Structure 1
Amino acid sequence: MSLPTPIYDLKQFDSVYEPSEDTFLFIDALEADLEYIHSLRPSCILEVGSGSGIVITSLARHFQTQCLFFATDINPVACLCTKQTAYLNNVVVHCTNMNLYCNFKSIFDIILFNPPYVCTEDSEIKPGINRSWAGGRDGRIIIDQFLSQLKLFLSDSGVCYMVALKENKPYEIMATMKVLGFNSCIIKERRILGEHLFVIRFIKEGNLK
């Protein structure tokens, strides 16, 4: 099983994060975990902060009509870009302009998040393309907001995948999530361009899958 990189075109979307090494690591990690993902028999898949849309579209191409696909982004231009990427690949992704998943009332079987993880001053988290990478102190401002709400939106048998940087203190994140009722593990890591990146998998305690 594989997840080929979707077709995408960002020429009209200057304020959208260009797919980079972290994006492709994320897709590689999902590809490596496809057997596990299939075992969950997911029906609803969400990507938070979809940006270009290539990550959620890669899964949509794989599962086709077996699942419903949703995405959110705080940048309205990124929502348009995600919709275009889905269209270029002949799949449907419902993308909504919102912060994280604050407006949803439903739960999801798979949640994906490649957060703004770069360590910056909190003041650098501002509208525009900065929001796609600026993460505040330890790169954790948005990460911690996302994870604090995860339990409300992930199904009991579901799984969340998140990208993190070494400077985000991934093992501290995993310990915090243990307290919040999640088991977690690193499923892929890679050192690229001076960054040490991780993909972390979270499942609720008691999930025997």
Structure 2
Amino acid sequence: MTRGRRDPFPWPSLSFPQHAAPAAAASHLTGSPPSSCCSMADGDGAAASRNLTEHSASAAEKGLPRRGKSSSGRTLNTAQIPLVASHPEVYEPCDDSFALVDALLSDKAQLLALQPRLCMEVGCGSGYVITSLAIMLRQLASGTQYLATDINKHAAETTQATLEAHGVHADVMVTDIVSGLEKRLAGMVDVVVINPPYVPTPEEEIGCKGIASSWAGGLNGRQVIDRILPAVREILSERGWLYMVTLEDNDPLDICHLMSEMGYASRVVLKRCTEEESLFVLKFWRDPHTATNASPKSPKSESWFSQLPFKSLWHKGS
């Protein structure tokens, strides 16, 4: 794919509200949100992309909550770590990011067959995931468009730099989840990917600015997740798929049960245990039979994990 921008997705309306401003160069984000999306000021994007190992302190060095550790061993089918931009206030790619991308890679053939028209990442951070997804699907000739949102303006800038460094394009918006975009995106998004703030934290940390917004999940790490799910349901197309990272503390079984009550089937695409946490990448898709057939959630127990719908139980076409 040649470096540079493609025509943006044909939004029904481009008069973005203040809380859903297109991302722009850093110098333009200090004042009022700009009225149109633009690329990073350096043009090429390579100068703005910094090696994470050189310019970003680890979570341990910063004294921050751990969400996995950094790793550099990735494939050519994903974004390359040396080209992933960084910022002190932006969450860097870690085990949860890699787990989400690996789950997408495992579903690559199905994603290509789906031929999504619009893919979206909620909470794009460094841009590693949305860039990796665009690279995976770049062989599609159907003109797939990409959209990324983040409440952190520095994350929007960083994502833009990462995208440009890899020669791919996405529209990047500064907004809370999909605030201000719900009506325009209703039923339009074919693939949504989310690595949400899932770390259990005090409630007062919810909505804080900067890098803390990438992990502060409130009680059981569910407060932000429980806001994301209904918002995403509104924008998913009838054939849409949602991929989301969860932590064992988030009670993935309960999340699957809640989604089943809303008509979504689910499966665990990937489980990964790190030094400090057990991660699950869940996949959801619409199934008209799911809501009527949903069984009551069993009480949480040591065997709760066996109740999760793993790949062996996934439905045809998912």
- Same topology, TM > 0.5: yes
Aligned to 1:119: 200
Which protein has the bigger helix share?
1
Q: Hey, what's the Cα distance between the residues in 2 that align with 1:139 and 1:205?
A: 27
Q: Which structure shows the higher strand fraction?
A: 1
- In 2, Cα distance between equivalents of 1:37 and 1:119: 32
2:190 aligns with 109
Query: Which deviates further from its counterpart, 74-83 or 30-39?
Result: 30-39
Question: Distance between the aligned counterparts of 2:219 and 2:77, measured in 1?
Answer: 33
The 5 Å alignment of 1:175-194 reads 175-194=257-276
Q: TM-score, normalised by structure 1?
A: 0.95
1:83 paired residue number: 160
Asked if structure 2 preserves the Cα contact closer than 8 Å seen for 1:40 and 1:158, the reply is no
CA-based RMSD of the aligned residues comes to: 1.6
- Residue identity opposite 2:194 in structure 1: F
Structure 2 CA distance for aligned equivalents of residues 81 and 150 of structure 1: 23
Amino acid at match of 1:19: P
Question: What amino acid maps onto 1:55 in structure 2?
Answer: V
Alignment of 1:157-176 (within 5 A): 157-176=239-258
Q: Are 1:22 and 2:91 matched, yes or no?
A: no
The one-letter amino acid paired with 2:84 is Y
In the alignment, what sits opposite 1:202? 284
What is the total number of aligned residue pairs between the two structures? 207
1:208 Cα shift?
A: 6.2
TM-score (norm 2): 0.63
- SS across alignment from 1:120: coil
> Which residue pairs with 1:45 in the alignment?
119
Which digits, 9 at most, give the CA deviation of each residue in 1:131-186, with x for residues without a partner?
10010001001100010222210000010000000000000100010011111111
Structure 2: how far apart are the matches of 1:21 and 1:135?
18
What SS class does the counterpart of residue 141 from structure 1 fall into? coil
Write the distance in 2 (CA, Å) between the matches of 1:77 and 1:183. Answer: 35
Equivalent-residue separation in structure 2 for 1:191 and 1:103 (angstroms):
36
CA contact (8 A) 2:85 2:159 kept: no
1:41 Cα deviation after fit? 1.2
Residue identity opposite 1:109 in structure 2: D
Contact 1:140–1:168 (Cα < 8 Å) also in 2: yes
Letter of the 2:258 counterpart: T
Deviations 1:68-103 (A, max 9, x none): 010000001100000000000000011000000122
Unaligned 5+ segments in structure 1 are none
- Bigger Cα Rg: 2
Given that 1:3 and 1:27 are in contact with CA atoms closer than 8 Å, whether structure 2 keeps it comes out as no
- 1:2 Cα deviation from its structure 2 partner: 6.9
- For the residues of structure 2 that align with 1:159 and 1:144, how far apart are their CA atoms? 18
Take 2:163 and 2:287, find their aligned partners in 1: how far apart are those partners?
A: 33
Q: Does the Cα contact within 8 Å between 2:105 and 2:136 map onto a contact in 1? A: no
The letter of the residue matching 1:163 is V
Is 1:92 the counterpart of 2:169 in the alignment? yes
- Percent identity over the alignment is 35
Task: State the alpha-carbon separation in 1 of the partners of residues 222 and 166 from structure 2.
Answer: 33
Whether 2:130 is the aligned partner of 1:56: answer yes
The one-letter code of the counterpart of 2:265 is: N
